[in-house]
Structure 1
């Protein structure tokens, strides 16, 4: 059975995945995989360079400023990049043999079709904002801007099969253990 783990920025997905890893459950990280593929796949490098332009890579390394500028210029630009990167990540996951996947944009990317069950990691907006401000050193306004670009937490919860509440008061380890028992 393949399990997807998702949740908005600052919800604590990475923390939950670290707890799963501590229990011996390997979790495929879509963000890390995308970065690896963008940096190592000659085909992806070529396609991104054709799309974005000759400044996409400098000395073989991704030029994040050029990519970000292109990406933020329009929604269609973001979709064009996603159309190149997402299928490569999906294939990589399917070939990985790993059953658990962490993906912040599970529904937006269509990766929910790659898993049998979905776990939403959630926390109140105020907790999420505080976590991201502390982690990334950015303003409350910037965090809220990022949050506004993601699916509303209520939508993610409604579409998921399970929820892990990671608000700092609920026992995350207990919730994970109960969930693992349900999935067996």
Structure 2
């Protein structure tokens, strides 16, 4: 059985993943995999360079994050073009990885929900999410809200998930244990 843990920015999904890992569950991190593949896959490097331009990687072959971010933020079409290159590579990497669990922030937007049998969503009240993002990234409330609103609303994800972990200060361990027992 393949299981995904998802949740919007500031929900605490990475923290919840670490709690699952304390129960002996290894979790594939889609964000980390995307960054790794963009650094190490010659195919991805060629495709991204063809899309973005010769400045995508420096002379040592290191990803020019500023150049990728500039291209990404220019338009939704640019973001979709990058996703069309990176998402299939990450999906393939997950399928070949041997992992049964994945952490994926944009599970439904990326289509990765099709790779799993069950979905766990981590939710938190918006005010808590805003505070977490502001503190973690040292950004303004407005910028935190901008990032939150770029993702699907929590209720849309919650409706599609099989399980919900509410990360609002209540104990997480009993919620996690209930899900593990149910699986």
TM-score bin, normalised by smaller chain:
over 0.9
Shift of 1:22: 1.1
> 1:74 and 1:140 mapped to 2: Cα distance?
23
Instruction: Indicate whether 1:66 and 2:67 are aligned.
Output: yes
Aligned residues: 182
Give the 5 Å matches for 1:18-167.
18-58=18-58, 59-167=60-168
Three-state SS of the structure 1 residue aligned to 2:54 is coil
Shift of 1:135: 0.7
> 1:47 and 1:152 mapped to 2: Cα distance?
31
Q: Which segments of 5 or more consecutive residues in structure 2 lack a partner in the other structure?
A: none
> 2:164 and 2:44 mapped to 1: Cα distance?
35
> 2:126 and 2:110 mapped to 1: Cα distance?
23
Shift of 1:171: 1.2
After superposition, the C-alpha distances for 1:67-99 in whole angstroms (9 at most, x for unaligned) are: 011001111111110000000000000011111
Shift of 1:23: 1.1
After superposition, the C-alpha distances for 1:94-135 in whole angstroms (9 at most, x for unaligned) are: 011111100000000000000000001000000000011111
Give the 5 Å matches for 1:171-182.
171-182=171-182
> 1:22 and 1:179 mapped to 2: Cα distance?
14
Three-state SS of the structure 2 residue aligned to 1:62 is coil
Three-state SS of the structure 1 residue aligned to 2:55 is coil
> 1:132 and 1:149 mapped to 2: Cα distance?
14
Q: Which stretches of structure 1, 4 residues or more, deviate above 6 A after TM superposition? A: none
> 1:98 and 1:166 mapped to 2: Cα distance?
25
Q: Which segments of 5 or more consecutive residues in structure 1 lack a partner in the other structure?
A: none
> 1:148 and 1:91 mapped to 2: Cα distance?
28
